[in-house]
Amino acid sequence: MRSGEGKPAVRLVAGLGNPGREYAFTRHNAGFWFLDALASKVGAAFRSESKFQGQLGKAEGNLRLLKPMTYMNLSGRCVSAAARFFTIAPAEILVVHDELDLLPGDAKMKFGGGVAGHNGLKDISAQLGTKDFWRLRIGIGHPRDSSIPQQDVADYVLAPPTVADGKTIAAAVERALDAWPAIAAGEFERAMLLLHTKEK
């Protein structure tokens, strides 16, 4: 299936995070937060799939939702295994992840580009052999912009957001859900406009 813009439509949405109760509410799990919300929206139920080392949900049509259970740094194992099994091209994959370089409340979408030190993206790029896949970036902010600028980045992403930041991140997830119909229709320019335009 191809989008109305002449680009392949998204067939696999992979939300990144770390499995386990201790990580459930940490900033690094923003991709899981979006995927859980999307699964509820499209009526998909996750089940464990050992051959992918992840949890898989199937929505209407040929759309599949995937949560790697490999821990963040090995996300590519799960994503590449599912892509091979279902014969999904990299350009048909949307990876949803936390983004340090965006403020909490921001959500942006792009195709390809660098991985900006994100280990999940780095492994997916390595396993797929390309950086040419879609990314939905959920802003979590950077410790340098927080009240504790000296905090180590690894400690920051593996900690829960403040109450205020949690609310703005949740709002960004909701805005991304509002853009989902455009993404699903392959109307990527419209989806990006919806994501990048916040209400005043």
Per-residue pLDDT reduced to its tens digit, 48-100: 999 999 999 999 889 999 999 999 999 999 999 999 999 999 999 999 999 99
Closest CA to 107 of 168, 38, 162: 168
Would you give the distance in Å from CA 79 to the centre of its chain?
Answer: 12
Average pLDDT over the chain reads 93
Q: Which domains does the chain have, with CATH numbers?
A: 12-196 (3.40.50.1470)
Q: Residue 196 has what pLDDT?
A: 84
| Residue 28 annotated among the catalytic residues of the structure | yes
Question: What integer pLDDT is reported at residue 6 of this predicted model?
Answer: 55
- For residues 189 and 171, give the distance between their C-alpha atoms in angstroms, rounded to a whole number: 21
Catalytic residue among 28, 97, 118, 142: 28
Choose among 8, 4, 145: nearest CA to 89.
8
Mean predicted confidence (pLDDT) in 109-115: 95
